[in-house]
Structure 1
Amino acid sequence: MVEERIREIFARAGADGLLHAVPVGGTPLTEVTAGAEVAVGADEPVVIASVFKVLLVLEFARQAAAGQLDPRERVRVGAADRLGGWGTAGCADDVELSLRDLAFFAISVSDNSAADLLLARVGLDTVQLLAGELGLDRTRIVGGPRDVLDSMLAEVGARDEAEFALRYPALPDDRKRRLSVLDPLRTNAGTPREITRLLRLIWRDEAGPPEACLQVRELMTRQVFRHRLVSGFPDEVTVAAKTGTLPGLHLEAGVVRYPDGGCYAISVFARTRKLAASRTAVDAALGAAARIAVDSLRGKGL
């Protein structure tokens, strides 16, 4: 019944949704049963887009905790690094900042340039190995934001972002849907269940040294975007999360904590049925679906 209500929420917004929600505390990760979770297509492969930055920043924090890198190390973000968008990715001039500030921008405003530079420093291979170490067997990381952009430019036949902005709108929807960045078999991907596993491990200090897990948790509480998961919960509930967005894809993963100590990991993914669907309606559906799932776990609203 809960799963049906969640599907209806997305259908009214013109989208198809997948979700997994589970308590953070209590039973060991290997003992979560159907009675302690809400799952709607939780094992289906999904594009994770910028949610991959949680795994990236976790690897950075683990390396910093192990003394393998200095989080104060300075990095210059130049014109060749900028991808457009939030944070340093949209700056007009060169910027210099520390590795830990790259991590901050990558999570708080989903800064793509910051994520690329951080990935270059910690190593794509180590992020891939980390996914395996944490038991995320169906999670695949093939590259960073620059790789995503380059694949989109190549498939559309555009030389740069300006030409892409001209060519992309003229493509038929079925051609847009075939872009590799929207295919979980060809880009950064996982499953809703594996994303909540990652979050539970971080919140339980089981994804690395406690100081590394704490850093990731604190950064996720500083995300500035408040239009998805946050929209579904009252003000007294704290939300630590990371969004992801691509054409026709709206997603977010996070942990909500109630004043009574109840803590729940949620990953929710929506694919719009039409690329021109209302973004506001779909974003609100993510929050509403998450609230229904958590209410069910808390024994309310049934």
Structure 2
Amino acid sequence: MVEQRIREVFAEAGAEGVLHAVPVGGAPDTAEVAVGADEPVVIASIFKVLLVLEFARQVAAGQLDPRERVRVTAADRLGGWGTAGCVDDIELSLRDLAYFALSVSDNSAADLLLDRVGLDTVQLLAKELGLTRTRIVGGPREVLELMLAEVGARNEAEFAQRYPSLPDERKRRMGVLDPQRTNSATPREITWLLRLVWRDEAGPPQACAQVRELMARQVFRHRLVSGFPDEVTVAAKTGTLPGLHMEAGVVRYPDGGRYAVSVFARTRELTASRTAVDSAIGATARIAVDFLRSQGL
């Protein structure tokens, strides 16, 4: 049974996982592979897909100029990739913030973009798209501030000193790992969002196209991509927190077959890097898609 095989792959990697996979178009909505697809999950940086979609919709509506310049200063840096890790102040456009947010999961870029488009509009977009179990409480800065507050740290450096000494059980109780206290959804709702984007049903066609194009430019190739042959293209977004490893995207075969897949894995070890788990995300996605294709979908 395909669902059992998926669970076994996660177990072999030392993880528990949930997954949802569906054809993007042309198949009945009941065609799916579902393993815990309706369980609430922390979505971490996968939230940025919804954020950039709202940005692209506002650009298409003439509400924002994508060329508007934004300065990223020391106060905006949250650590990580892209502008988030720069030493000096830089200036770039709103559309380049969107590019960095999706291509390298730039937290500072996402935070500044969220300030411009509005948290309330992103929340309203989720409701408009029927994502009734998707919870958006804030951007990367809110996540960071929650983590600092929970360990009593004044800044990232102090957090880095205190976090390793915390008991594992206290680490697991942190709000950023709790779907009820941070940005969250279900695997099924994430694939629904992707289907809407790929069908041009999540907003104006040009807005959906922009999201697809930016997701296709993601530089991280160690999760979903690892499960598929070179001729299969993958447009996706990763998300990572201690003990949580995830990715959601659309895989496209040369014959035109397209499949939306969302995979969320949780490990007992509270680390951000687990090669075996990353490979399991790709392997389970491949198992699910192979099954759908075997059914002629």
Q: TM-score, normalised by structure 1?
A: 0.96
- Structure 2 Cα separation of the partners of residues 179 and 73 of structure 1: 37
Q: Runs in 1 of length 4+ with deviation above 3 angstroms? A: none
Q: Could you tell me how far 1:276 is from its partner in structure 2?
A: 5.0
1:117-266 to structure 2, matched below 5 A, reads 117-266=112-261
Matched letter for residue 52 of structure 1: F
> Aligned residue for 2:26?
26
> Aligned residue for 1:271?
266
Q: TM-score, normalised by structure 2?
A: 0.98
Tell me, yes or no, if the aligned pair for 1:152 and 1:179 is still in contact at 8 Å: yes
- Structure 2 Cα separation of the partners of residues 70 and 53 of structure 1: 19
Matched letter for residue 97 of structure 2: L
1:5 aligns with 2:8: no
Tell me, yes or no, if the aligned pair for 1:13 and 1:278 is still in contact at 8 Å: no
Tell me, yes or no, if the aligned pair for 1:14 and 1:277 is still in contact at 8 Å: no
Matched letter for residue 22 of structure 1: V
Tell me, yes or no, if the aligned pair for 1:223 and 1:242 is still in contact at 8 Å: yes
Match of 2:92 among 92, 97, 108: 97
Deviation digits for residues 125-171 of structure 1, max 9, x if unmatched? 00000000000000010000000000000001111100100100011
- Structure 2 Cα separation of the partners of residues 204 and 212 of structure 1: 12
Q: How many residues align?
A: 295
Tell me, yes or no, if the aligned pair for 1:2 and 1:292 is still in contact at 8 Å: yes
- Structure 1 Cα separation of the partners of residues 270 and 208 of structure 2: 36
Residues 205 and 276 of structure 1: is their aligned pair in 2 closer, same or farther, counting only changes over 3 Å? closer
Deviation digits for residues 52-97 of structure 1, max 9, x if unmatched? 0000000000000000010000000000000111000000000100
Match of 2:107 among 106, 112, 128: 112
| 2:294 aligned counterpart, secondary structure | coil
Structure 1 stretches of 5 or more lacking a match? none
Matched letter for residue 29 of structure 2: V
Residues 284 and 55 of structure 1: is their aligned pair in 2 closer, same or farther, counting only changes over 3 Å? same
Tell me, yes or no, if the aligned pair for 1:3 and 1:40 is still in contact at 8 Å: yes
